[in-house]
Structure 1
């Protein structure tokens, strides 16, 4: 107990101090601490239950009525008028109270365990919980049912031919079947209901996970039931908001399945090789998955490794056999009559050390280089039984598609189970996944039963997280955007919460740009905006793919430690990377698509935290494309419950005024970005180039510097060619200053 609070119980705070304390209490930021409830939806049901509780009467107390007497127990150190003969009795009572509290905790734990081991929920209860959390589970492809229907149709067609019946009209497309799996309400149920190992359950508890998020309460029962020996398994396609715990949702079933396989082959000392492959689009996301995987597999014997350059995952045929010296370097007896060597040794690349891990996490290109062989062939990955595509819409995008499909098709094990995870996933990605699974099974000569493909969607598909505040600001020009960012760094006045409860942006936050040169230019402009008393230039850093791996790791480490407050980056950090203490995101350059906006702003508001701010700046060049972003913001506000247009960030008149981009414009924007902005940085055209450059200097000053620079270059060129200068040509005695 705080003695100062007890002694100052009768004092009252001043009005100014009370207002300050109230403002500090209301201005909650995501970096203020862990969220008590990591779930995004389903709070309405709990609030409704709480509202049914009896409330105290709001009537004023009569003057004659005395206030209720309250007794305050002071600690023995402050109770100066206490009888010393009761000290021993008080100590006894204190010990009895402690034992009673401990016994109560033990009883509560037993009650919770008994609840976990209770009878399973009925279908109506499962439907209620899943619908309250906005979870929808659908069967995309039921292959066993489709095979039976095909056989039934063939049988009917034969009968129809024999009886010469009239051909019936084609049947209508059937609605997809919905599933209602029993949701996971607590992580303790993983051991009592699904039988995960004790060590894995202890690792989950050690990380502080108690309440599952929406994607975890629905996907974990599906995947854990699929890993049972009597089950055929499933292929899962999951769409869930950013920061909802998708990494943990696929790591727990992976580790559980590998522990089961390890227990089955305990008598066999020989390892089966790599059992699972996790693909991620960036090195930062891959290293983050490895860190989480090592936490889950601690002291279980399951090894998780990050794929690096020079590592080998498949043993090449004949590896370890050394070629004879004559064969390697050639000999005189193998030479032809003209003295030329007809036997040319095969050029083999230097082999690296073979990786002995159960789970490999990699980017597509790094893993593809490791399994590629001579003449462009790819070595088969026969032992892999689990393939996880994190950020699947990017991995199956044209940028990574061929690399991902080459790795996917190299896995020839008929027991392979695939899961795709992302916050945004279009119908084209679903069709590509179904066609890839079908084509792969058609090439496999196996009689194994094919697993069903199930889709899991949390919330609205392709929507931003509803627990952050969105701002769409028109800055007109590049100078306006630079001024807006400086105002975010240096507010002109202390900003308090207004009537609309609009939070303010506070460090640490991320700033996203379109290209690497623009990130570098913005870093050079803002590098000295933070005063030396607050840390100076060390508080602002830039991160992009042109940096080395060591430099990128160093920047990420400093940012996670809190040494860097403002991190300027490209879309390299837009996907999957978890920053729990990020207070906001600034889109200095507007995203190129609605999906890019969803992933960028998803760096804040992780795990149900509230108070995050997403600021998007757009200029005159962005107006033809900004309507997609405005629609995503409007949809997120509707999910949040903002109905009044007064409180909305995107007004209806703005949506009506913005032009609608065509499909061709969207495709070109996604591929190239805003062309004027790229031209302004790369110098593809000179007209209007200063409008899209990140600089505080005016166009006149840039023109004067360019003329001076061109004059100096022309003077040097004339001097190198031996031509006279302009002063000598005019006959003047003054020859100019020597350079």
Structure 2
């Protein structure tokens, strides 16, 4: 097919394509659109940036134009599921652009924004609903949307859906759909899990693949740099200072790691910003707009947040951390070399990531050109860059990320929770000194104690037991932890005045620790005298 007009699309759609200067369909569009127009279920495989969105949006619009009917209240005629908010927003933009001359209603349902406006839009019924799985389930459980009249169901970026642990949400949504429907799956890669999911949801699907499975973008120049982990920050600053970069997208494994990269680059005088799950939707939209406009030329992102970043002019993709899932590498480098342009993908690899690199090279069926910047002989063009050192919790999260995920991505979901994914920003674990096992100064800071109140010192152990072996050990720890002149809170230091010395008061024995509160009972000392009052726990 040499033009959209020859595909048999309705005239209002062809007119909108012409106005947008879309004349010739891409390979995935020319092969998929006729199959969808014929009414067949479809599995479409194409690398990122090849026009998958139009491959399903155009035939859906054609169906709605040729068979117009007003949707019933709260009902949906076409449902598109995508993994991220950014990608969902771009899909809506495509439907609106190509359906500008058709009377088609399109609604976006994503998290991070109030649900009220979405409920009001759905109350009238919509032709096309583009949604993320979590928000759609919330709307369905609140009886704000009906899915029993869906005519066309699209699952976009199906492989990433499974990587993010959405398989159970997807199955729950599919159970609400009518059995007789038109289903389309689109993905950049086709692992076995996706094939199994497609087999359970599609009926005799046509398979369209315009590139071999897991083939990376042809126009991307790829290379890897071996580097010591503490020196990654300096190396990144050097590349951003010396390479001819239009826009650079830097990938970090964790949200905290992404924020640390931004801080280190700022110390080197390099402006950047981060986009990840801890950012509000307004923050993510503002950062992405600045990146598109070129106000910020370096964007640091996690895998989840980067899905849907369709920005032309990304000249470099830099893998600060190699992904533990090799298919994610394909998605990452697909952010560059879009729309026929060329791009560069540079990956940092430390000693712990060698296994990830081998898996990636096995998947893409090529060995990446490598250079070595390890050891004392490494020299960096930006010597003032500070090393990015993750704290104990971040490194624990990274080690957990190395573990392979179980069926359906369930392990991946738990890994994201351990690394702080999905937690409120103030509870990510960075300042919780009580849980920091390393015993470092940062972990034992006052900030950490404030984040999680400590139990009383010497709880349940009276000071008078210093003559016993266990009490002596306790006393040693107690005295070492409290320097001279330590003042108890709430003026309790003054209560010790007038009391007998520790050795004079005699031993005391706990009568039982009630609920860990340190309630004590005084017992007679050797002279038969009883202290005037029970030992009060230090608070």
**TM-based fold match above 0.5:** yes
Question: Is 1:469 the equivalent of 2:221?
Answer: yes
1:305-341 deviation line (CA, Å, top 9, x unaligned): 1115425989xxxxxxxxxxxxxxxxxxxxxxxxxxx
Write the distance in 2 (CA, Å) between the matches of 1:489 and 1:401.
38
| Bigger radius of gyration | 1
Write the distance in 2 (CA, Å) between the matches of 1:529 and 1:519.
16
What residue number does 1:9 align with? none
Question: Is 1:483 the equivalent of 2:234?
Answer: yes
1:20-63 deviation line (CA, Å, top 9, x unaligned): xxxxxxxxxxxxxxxxxxxxxxxxxxxxxxxxxxxxxxxxxxxx
Q: CA RMSD in A?
A: 3.7
CA contact 2:122–2:145 (8 Å) conserved in 1: no
Q: Number of paired residues? A: 417
Write the distance in 1 (CA, Å) between the matches of 2:319 and 2:138.
34
Question: Is 1:553 the equivalent of 2:285?
Answer: yes
CA offset at residue 244 of structure 1? 0.7
1:379-412 deviation line (CA, Å, top 9, x unaligned): 7522210001111123345711111111111112
Q: Secondary structure at the match of 2:369?
A: coil
CA offset at residue 541 of structure 1? 1.2
CA contact 1:297–1:303 (8 Å) conserved in 2: no
CA offset at residue 529 of structure 1? 2.7
What residue number does 2:514 align with? none
Question: Is 1:619 the equivalent of 2:350?
Answer: yes
Question: Is 1:385 the equivalent of 2:198?
Answer: no
Ranked by relative contact order (alpha carbons within 8 Å, sequence separation 6 or more), the top structure is 1
User: Aligned match of 1:304 in 103, 106, 119?
Assistant: 106
CA contact 2:221–2:345 (8 Å) conserved in 1: yes
1:96-139 deviation line (CA, Å, top 9, x unaligned): xxxxxxxxxxxxxxxxxxxxxxxxxxxxxxxxxxxxxxxxxxxx
CA offset at residue 570 of structure 1? 1.0
1:607-627 deviation line (CA, Å, top 9, x unaligned): 2212x1111112122223331
CA offset at residue 677 of structure 1? 9.2
Q: Secondary structure at the match of 1:591?
A: coil
What residue number does 2:58 align with? 252
What residue number does 2:35 align with? 222
Q: Secondary structure at the match of 1:585?
A: strand
TM-score, length-scaled by structure 2: 0.69
When residues 677 and 516 of structure 1 are mapped into structure 2, their CA distance, relative to the original with a 3 A threshold, is closer
User: Aligned match of 1:286 in 88, 101, 105?
Assistant: 88
Write the distance in 2 (CA, Å) between the matches of 1:358 and 1:234.
20
User: Aligned match of 2:130 in 361, 365, 368?
Assistant: 361
CA contact 2:74–2:145 (8 Å) conserved in 1: no
What residue number does 2:470 align with? none
Write the distance in 2 (CA, Å) between the matches of 1:294 and 1:248.
11
Q: Secondary structure at the match of 1:596?
A: helix
CA offset at residue 715 of structure 1? 7.6
Question: Is 1:585 the equivalent of 2:305?
Answer: no
User: Aligned match of 2:188 in 416, 423, 444?
Assistant: 423
Write the distance in 2 (CA, Å) between the matches of 1:716 and 1:295.
72
What residue number does 1:41 align with? none
How do residues 614-653 of structure 1 correspond to structure 2 at under 5 angstroms?
614-632=345-363, 635=365, 649=369
Q: Secondary structure at the match of 1:185?
A: coil
What residue number does 1:460 align with? 212
Question: Is 1:667 the equivalent of 2:405?
Answer: yes
What residue number does 1:54 align with? none
Question: Is 1:522 the equivalent of 2:261?
Answer: yes
Question: Is 1:371 the equivalent of 2:136?
Answer: no
CA contact 1:312–1:354 (8 Å) conserved in 2: no
Question: Is 1:567 the equivalent of 2:291?
Answer: no
Unaligned ranges ≥5, structure 2: 372-401, 421-427, 450-479, 495-539
How do residues 401-412 of structure 1 correspond to structure 2 at under 5 angstroms?
401-412=167-178
When residues 413 and 313 of structure 1 are mapped into structure 2, their CA distance, relative to the original with a 3 A threshold, is farther
When residues 512 and 716 of structure 1 are mapped into structure 2, their CA distance, relative to the original with a 3 A threshold, is farther
CA contact 1:467–1:609 (8 Å) conserved in 2: yes
Q: Secondary structure at the match of 1:188?
A: helix
Write the distance in 1 (CA, Å) between the matches of 2:311 and 2:221.
17
What residue number does 1:213 align with? 26
CA offset at residue 650 of structure 1? 5.4
